[in-house]
Amino acid sequence: MCIVFIYNGKDDVRSDYRFILVSNRDEYYNRPAQPLDPWTENPNVYGGRDLQPGSGSGTWMAINPVLKKLGLLLNLPGSKKENVQSRGRIVADFVKSHYNTKEYVEIVRDYATECNDFIFISLEYGGSEPTVNSYTNVTDKIEQWTETYLGFGNSLPDKPLKKVEAGKEQLKNICHKYCKITDKAELIEELTRLLKNTESNLPDSQLENRQPHLYKELSSIFVSIPKAKYGTRAHTILLVTKSGYVDLIEISMKSPINVEAPYWERKEFKFDLI
Cα(26)–Cα(231) distance, integer angstroms:
5
Write out residues in the chain with pLDDT < 50, as ranges. Answer: none
Range of 186's domain? 3-272
| Dihedral sign, Cα of residue 42, residue 48, residue 51, residue 54 | negative
Q: What does the pLDDT read at residue 148?
A: 97
Q: What is the DSSP secondary-structure string of the chain?
A: -EEEEEEE-TT-TT-SEEEEEEEEEEEETTS-EEEEEE-SS-TT-EEEEE-STTSTT--SEEEETTTTEEEEEEE---PPPTTPPPSHHHHHHHHHSS--HHHHHHHHHHHHTTSPSEEEEEEE-SSSS-EEEEEETTTTEEEEE--SEEEE-SS-TTS--HHHHHHHHHHHHHHHHS-SGGGHHHHHHHHHHHHT--------HHHHHH-TTTTTTTSSSS-EEGGGTEEEEEEEEEEEETTSEEEEEEEEEPSSP-SSSPPEEEEEEEEE--
Q: Give pLDDT tens digits for 76-97.
A: 987 788 889 999 999 999 999 9
Q: Give pLDDT tens digits for 45-58.
A: 999 999 998 888 89
**Amino acid (1-letter code) at residue 125:** Y
Cα(91)–Cα(121) distance, integer angstroms:
9
Q: What does the pLDDT read at residue 126?
A: 80
Cα(77)–Cα(212) distance, integer angstroms:
11
Residue 163: CATH number of its domain: 3.60.60.10
Q: How many domains does the chain have?
A: 1
Q: What does the pLDDT read at residue 164?
A: 98
Cα(124)–Cα(196) distance, integer angstroms:
27
Q: Using alpha carbons only, what angle is made at residue 271 by residues 266 and 274, rounded to the nearest 5 degrees?
A: 165
Q: What does the pLDDT read at residue 127?
A: 75
